Chains A and B, each alone.
Chain A
């Protein structure tokens, strides 16, 4: 059953169109992440789903019921906010039971639900405290407890981890994912952090300028970004994109970076039939940094010898786990992820192995993925 279905939804403020014809279908039990840069409309979309904001046009169904005119409290949803929004004057216990109190749930039932949630989130010792006496992580847990206790059709998370420090954020990320696996809830999660999107989602909706650019599982979004925006937004460091020329010889299509230059790079492409009509034309070539590695790397699953190029090295960034190298491919800047123990000299040249199986080609006009 579709837990949430959004049809042709748009939102306008005066003459500013924030959401432009959004269509989304989210199945029950899915962990959907809405990700995009700030101002892309993702939080507005979430607020409209919650009923805190009204759509200008379109239809929203939760659990098969049209909810456009249903107030937030009757939508069978629960929400976790960026600032946690815990009620400052209430104890943790009161914070969690306030919603049930508003819905006139019997006292005994409230106690039972509270006990379950407190146990699940391990916040039993905190029940008597005020929010001001809690750490950031504890507040986060209580905010989730307040949502969980409702047992709703749909959980809405609005950038819930962005107020936490980096270490705690990673912990809570895992905890939310574990929670989803355990209770199988349907979650819509808004974030601007593409790592959160990649690690937690079962499906990602990448948003930009009020439009869903791509709605797919994380692997597809990463491997086959629908357009240049998605390619450059997802991944850290992002996908390298550079102009190239598509040629063909007896062996099939060849992408040429920096065509005509003495250091032009020719990359033979296999299984890129969809690009056939672009032969002889300019395209945008995308290659992930991890597909450019040190010269003696053997890419997993690769058949045949890798493509080896010698390229000038401009900058070396050791991160500990790997070394990020800024180099030039046919004159175009690109980043490579190589083994941590290898440190090429900036200003010199080094040889790099390229995994050409995972190259993406984009139409330079429409910016859409060709193949």
Chain B
């Protein structure tokens, strides 16, 4: 058989793939490199350059020393805010999505497809369109400028995705399982807890990764509904760059960006293969 590794088409493919990878990775490389350079070094040279010596101090400063909007505690409190929003919202939206997906896929009831359709319609509504209604809701229930307000928003908006994912996974589970359990005397929640949930690991991993990444990276709601000490890290990063507009602090800013991106990067690194597997996983056999 011919050795195909030197075929011209192969070389072309690798060339194109490498080009794309370089284009996508270039900003990350620039930010990582800058996070390790001192401000003086960046100011003297250009934004793009190799660090002359590794300035790890940028990370310490970004984490807990840098001033954002008159508070000099770095991005640590905002990271905590993000965690306090992202973790509960991810758990709630995933669990609710699993229960709802289970209900619309395995318990047929009048209007089930309508409900499913309306819930997933949320996927197609632009975020900006939802700002005003949410403002009214948060104001009326007194959750404006609170982390719980963001938890509520992300839980409810996340349902569109989690219901879609879970329903499409559960639809492949044989209905006879439910029938057998009903005859055995199990009700809606016992069937979910004892039979469906133990089968759900692949899809729950997918929804958790998806929800965590999206909620952590979300910016618009964070910047709209919270201010000052209540902001998630994505919104705080903007405040950070605004605060340093007079004297550019690219090294510290880059370090802050890397720290802010770390949780989702780690989630993807550790869970990525489950994610890909889960999205393509078929029925429970």
A98 pairs with B182, CB closer than 8 A: no
Cβ of B51 within 8 Å of any chain A Cβ, yes or no, is no
Contact B182 A72 (CB under 8 A): yes
Q: Is there a chain A Cβ closer than 8 Å to B55's Cβ?
A: no
- Complex Cα gap A85–B185 (Å): 15
B194: which A residues are within 8 A, CB to CB?
A: 87, 90, 98
Instruction: Please measure, in the bound complex, the distance between the C-alpha atom of A50 and the C-alpha atom of B284, giving whole angstroms.
Output: 26
Report if A73-B182 is in contact (Cβ < 8 Å); known contacts: A85-B174, A88-B284: yes
> How many B residues face the partner with a CB closer than 8 A?
17
Answer yes or no: B180 CB below 8 A from chain A CBs. Answer: yes
User: In the complex, what's the smallest C-beta–C-beta distance from B176 to chain A, in angstroms?
Assistant: 4
- Interface size for chain A: under 10, 10 to 19, 20 to 34, or 35 or more residues? 20 to 34
A52 touches B179 (CB 8 A): yes
Residues of A within 8 A of B177 (CB): 85, 87-88
Main secondary structure of the interface of B (DSSP, over half): helix
The answer to the question of A103 belonging to the interface, with a C-beta cut-off of 8 Å to chain B, is yes
- Verify if B186 is at the interface (C-beta below 8 Å from A): yes
Q: Which residues of B contact A47 (CB under 8 A)?
A: 179
Partner of A81, one of B176, B195, B198, B199: B176
Within 8 A of A (CB), among B171-220: 174, 176-177, 179-186, 190, 194-195, 198-199
A114, chain B: closest CB distance, angstroms: 14
A51→B195 CA distance, assembly (Å) = 21
* Residue A194 at the chain B interface, CB threshold 8 Å: no
A108 contacts partner chain B, Cβ-Cβ < 8 Å:
no
- Find out whether the CB atom of A78 lies under 8 angstroms from the CB atom of B183: yes
Residues of B within 8 A of A78 (CB): 183
Cβ contacts A to B, 7 pairs, < 8 Å = A52-B179, A52-B182, A72-B182, A83-B176, A88-B284, A90-B194, A146-B184
Q: Which residue of A lies closest to B201 (CB)?
A: A89
A85 touches B179 (CB 8 A): yes
Q: In the complex, which residues of chain B have a beta carbon less than 8 angstroms from the beta carbon of A88?
A: 177, 198-199, 284
* Distance (whole angstroms) from the CB of A185 to the closest CB of chain B: 16
Most buried by A among B174, B180, B284: B180
Which of A51, A89, A99 interacts with B184 by CB under 8 Å?
A: A99
